[in-house]
Amino acid sequence: MNYLPMGEADLDAVTAAEDRIYPFPWTRGNFLDSLNSGHTVLLAREEGRLAGYAVMMQVLDEAHLLNISVLPELQGGGRGTALLGHLFATAKDQGATRMFLEVRPSNLAGQRLYLRHGFLEIGRRKAYYPALEGREDAIVMARDL
């Protein structure tokens, strides 16, 4: 995979992918806000085609992983692991010493990925996410870089 900055011209493809990946997808506006805020917003491409993407916000030495996604038909093939490794290197280059993220307790693939790469649970946010029935907590995880 190769990684490059996401631009506004990519948002049709990215939001179409997001809608296929998540029951509660980010909107085009969410991605635009991230671009306009200067977050690290990356596309992962394979043979010129979109394979995944990620959004990371950095405040001083803390990186916050806001979105990491691999296209449904490409999941389970090591791309999420590769993208995460690229994000660790990027955050370190930008001076981060720690990375934080939130994940749904129901998202076992996400948790597996993060636990395997050194993240530890540091807390929970109650009723953080919308869910099909009511709300779902967030597991807050962190890892030193």
Ligand X SMILES: CC(C)(COP(=O)(O)OP(=O)(O)OC[C@H]1O[C@@H](n2cnc3c(N)ncnc32)[C@H](O)[C@@H]1OP(=O)(O)O)[C@@H](O)C(=O)NCCC(=O)NCCS
* Minimum gap (Å) between residue 68 Cβ and ligand X: 5
Q: Smaller CB distance to ligand X: residue 2 or 81?
A: 81
Please name the residues in contact with 87: beta carbons below 8 A apart, sequence gap of 6 or more: 40, 42, 54, 56, 63, 65, 68, 99
* Minimum gap (Å) between residue 115 Cβ and ligand X: 8
Owner of token pair 């011209």: 9
Name which position in 26, 41, 69, 142 contacts ligand X (CB under 6 A): 69
- Retrieve residue 42's tokens: 């990356």
Burial class (CB in 10 A: 0-12, 13-18, 19+), 29: exposed
* Minimum gap (Å) between residue 77 Cβ and ligand X: 5
Question: Rounded to the nearest 10 degrees, what angle do helices 108-116 and 79-93 cross at?
Answer: 50
**Footprint of ligand X on residues 72-131 (CB under 6 A)?**
75-81, 103, 107-110, 112-113, 116
Tell me whether strands 49-59 and 40-46 are parallel, antiparallel or unpaired: antiparallel
**Footprint of ligand X on residues 17-46 (CB under 6 A)?**
21
Active site residue 3: no
Q: Smaller CB distance to ligand X: residue 51 or 96?
A: 51
- Retrieve residue 30's tokens: 């969410």
* Minimum gap (Å) between residue 102 Cβ and ligand X: 7
User: CA nearest 82: which of 38, 117, 118?
Assistant: 117
Given 3, 18, 53, 102, the catalytic residue: 102
Q: Is 70 in the site for ligand X (CB under 6 A)?
A: yes
The binding site for ligand X (CB under 6 A) comprises 21, 68-70, 75-81, 103, 107-110, 112-113, 116
Q: Which residues are identified as catalytic? A: 102, 114
